[in-house]
Amino acid sequence: MRVVLVTACVVVVAAVAAGAALGVFGGGDDDPEAKAPSGPPATTQVKRTTLTSSQALDGQLGYGDTVAVQAPAGSGSAQSGQAQGGGGAGAGIVTWMPSDGDTVTRGKPVYKVNQQSVPLLYGSVPLYRTLKPGVSGSDVKMLEKNLKALGYDGFTVDDDYTSDTAAAVEEWQDDLGRTETGQVTAGDAVVASGARRVAKAELAVGDSLTGDVLTWTGTDRVISVDLPVQYADLAKKGGKSTVTLPDNTTVTAVVTEIGTPTSSGDSAGGGQDQQDSSGSGSSNATVPVELKVQDAKKLGAYQAASVSVEFAAETRANVLAVPISALFALPGGGYAVEVVTGSTSEYRKVQLGTFGNGMVEVSGSGITEGTVVGVPK
């Protein structure tokens, strides 16, 4: 994990001015208010503004975590993550598979077994039993919602599987080329929370339907970050972050999901390596964070890429600030700015505060809003 404290980087940038300062102060004059030998090449004014510092971390652009769709075991069903797969009685030969990268939507086949389509239904309750007249439950309501969305009617969307539901199911089965039983078994469809993008087909046409059929993801590109727990408070649901793409363009992303802290040391056998220097827990613990860019077009053609994500760390309002380039490193430590008055200038020592937006908070004797200071051209 690469963690970059932007403020630290900024200080390093500012320290580059040390060479200039040594030349100005002659390397032996610790008086920060020594007269400058000549005026600066350009000037700017001390501004009153709001500064936001940030923390930059590595992230990955992609389609999110992959989930396996499994073939049902025997006459039951198999479930993995968001999806539950089908295939009648759990036996048969695969006769069609989607291609990697394909998008599967409601009602469309996830795969075919024995020439029968196993379609996708949207929901959170998997098909785990046979649905038929007389049964009731949230899985019945899920099925009826999908039938209604697919254009079938003549029934009431509720928890009860009635003869009207069975009639709609028979019509659906006819359209799928299935035997019209009016019943839905655990292996007749795959349930997921929405449209899915196929990551990898694990089986090929001609294979026996068993094990993992395929893996898939969501259809939207997202940015995933494993946030070290010490920075967990930087991520807030709905909060905005700046994402830098491989071509150095930037886009704004919104935090959509914050997961449960995990540790890469959990499976390492325990021991002292899992304690940080303070003994307060695993130094490898991270919080999975997912962000989404509202306008996906701004991500260009990138399907998968390493990116940098900046989280706002601190915001200070109503502070005096100058461009970072206005700072000069003093030989004895600390920083100064070149204050310009008329045709003369002098260096005045300043205390630094928050860095952000290419600016730095400053305070010191004679430093007020509107004070003119020197900057490079």
Note the pLDDT tens digit of each residue in 311-327: 988 888 999 999 999 99
Q: Are strands 116-122 and 190-192 parallel, antiparallel or unpaired?
A: parallel
What's residue 32's pLDDT? 53
Higher pLDDT, 55 or 272: 55
Q: One-letter amino acid identity for 80? A: S
Residue in this structure with the two tokens 């000549």, named with its chain if needed: 38
Q: What does R_g of the chain's alpha carbons equal in angstroms?
A: 31
User: What are 328-354's pLDDT values in tens digits?
Assistant: 999 989 999 999 998 899 999 999 999
CB-based contacts of 194: which residues, under 8 Å, 6+ apart?
122, 218, 219
**b/e string for 249-284 if b means 16 or more Cβ within 10 A?**
eebebebeebeeeeeebeeeeeeeebeeeeeeebbb
Q: Which domains does the chain show, CATH number per domain? A: 3-55+314-375 (2.40.420.20), 67-217 (1.10.101.10), 222-311 (2.40.30)
Q: Is the pTM of this model over 0.85?
A: no
Q: Which long-range contacts (CB under 8 A, 24 or more apart) does 103-108 make?
A: 103/195, 103/196, 103/197, 103/198, 103/219, 104/195, 104/196, 104/197, 104/198, 104/216, 105/195, 106/146, 106/149, 106/150, 106/195, 107/146, 107/150
Higher-scoring residue by pLDDT: 25, 77:
25
- Tokens representing residue 273 in the block: 């390596």
**Whole-angstrom distance, CA of residue 236 vs CA of residue 307:** 19
- What angle is formed at CA 15 by the lines to CA 12 and CA 21, rounded to 5 degrees? 175
Distance CA 87, CA 136 (A): 23
**Segment 166-179, tens digit of pLDDT:** 999 999 999 999 99
Q: Which residue has the higher pLDDT, 255 or 3?
A: 255
Which residues fall within 8 angstroms of residue 302, CB to CB, at 6 or more apart?
61, 221, 245, 246
171-205 in b/e form (b: 16+ CB < 10 A) is bbbeebebeeebbbbbbbbbbbeebbbbbebbbee
Mean pLDDT, residues 365-376 taken together: 95
% of the chain beyond a pLDDT of 90:
69
pLDDT for residue 33 is more than 90: no
Residues 75-92, mean pLDDT to the nearest whole number = 46
Residue 30 pLDDT greater than 70, yes or no: no
Return the C-alpha torsion angle 102, 107, 113, 115, nearest 10.
-100
Structure tokens at 256: 């959509």
Q: Give CA separation, 75 vs 78, 168, 369, in Å.
A: 10, 24, 77
Mean pLDDT over residues 130-136, rounded?
98
Least confident range from 265-279, 289-303, 356-370: namely: 265-279
Residue 375 β-bridge partners: 42
pLDDT for the residue numbered 91: 63
Rounded to whole angstroms, the Cα distance separating 101 from 372 reads: 58
**Bigger pLDDT: 84 or 325?**
325
Confidence of residue 10 (pLDDT cuts 50, 70, 90): very low
Q: What is the mean pLDDT of residues 120-149?
A: 97
Range in 34-43, 121-130, 335-344 with the lowest mean pLDDT: 34-43
In the structure, what pLDDT confidence band is assigned to residue 251 with cuts at 50, 70 and 90?
Answer: very high
pLDDT at 223 over 50: yes
- The answer to whether the CB of 89 falls within 8 A of the CB of 187 is yes
Distance CA 83, CA 121 (A): 10
- Which of residues 35 and 210 earns the better pLDDT score? 210
> Is residue 24 within 8 Å of residue 335, measured between CB atoms?
no
- The per-residue pLDDT for 253 is 97
pLDDT exceeds 70 at position 276: no
pLDDT tens by residue, 54-75: 889 999 999 999 999 999 865 3
Nearest to 191 by CA among 135, 140, 116, 137: 140
* Among 349, 377, 369, 376, CA closest to 46: 369
How far apart are alpha carbons 12 and 27 in whole angstroms? Answer: 20
